[in-house]
Amino acid sequence: MSSEQIDSLKSWLNNGWLVEHETSPQEVSALLQVVERDIEESRTPGLGADWRLAIAYNAALQAATLGLAASGFRASREAHHYRVIASLALTIGASPAMVARFDAFRKKRNLGGYERAGQASDGEADEMRELAVELKCAVLAFLGKHRKELLPDA
């Protein structure tokens, strides 16, 4: 991570948006298991698109949470999902386009999960799963480069 990214995360900490957190190989392994489980579960035949999207969203959120934890932080409770997603640019160096795409799915998931059924299409559920896979790979690459000691095979 660059000094600019670290400074931004420290600013978030000072604003109360993050709290310091020391992760462990065990936590990393457990989060990766959740990510992998949810990626697979989001492929379940016959499951509605809203649910498949929500499951894939959770996989991506846990991958993003892992990136934040490996950077020494966790999101505070207020606007938790929003902060975890936005932190991807500061932790793993995710592109603004990836962060925006993920945030759009956050909004879509909220509609389908809390307000109206039938908000997601099969294509959107598949796209969310693809994003979850991309994030998992990006987080693993980040860990391999910056925090090898946290990887399950380390």
10-residue stretch averages of pLDDT, the chain, 154 residues long: 83 91 95 97 92 94 96 89 93 95 86 63 94 97 95 75
Q: Contact 43/63 with Cβ under 8 angstroms?
A: no
What pLDDT does residue 120 have?
81
What pLDDT does residue 30 have?
96
Angle between helix axes 49-70 and 122-146 (nearest 10 degrees) is: 10
**Amino acid letter at 30?**
A
Q: Contact 150/127 with Cβ under 8 angstroms?
A: no
CA distance 66 to 78: 18
DSSP 79: T
What pLDDT does residue 34 have?
97
What pLDDT does residue 52 have?
93
Domain ranges of the chain: 3-150
Which CB contacts under 8 angstroms, 24+ apart, belong to 96-100? Answer: 98/131, 98/134, 98/135
- Containing H/E element for 75? strand 73-75
CA distance 78 to 43: 31
Cβ neighbours of residue 77 under 8 Å, at least 6 residues apart? none
pTM of the model: 0.91
Fold of 3-150: Four Helix Bundle (Hemerythrin (Met), subunit A) (1.20.120)
DSSP-H helix ranges across the chain = 3-14, 25-41, 49-70, 80-91, 96-110, 122-146
What pLDDT does residue 113 have?
52
Chain centroid offset of residue 77 CA: 15
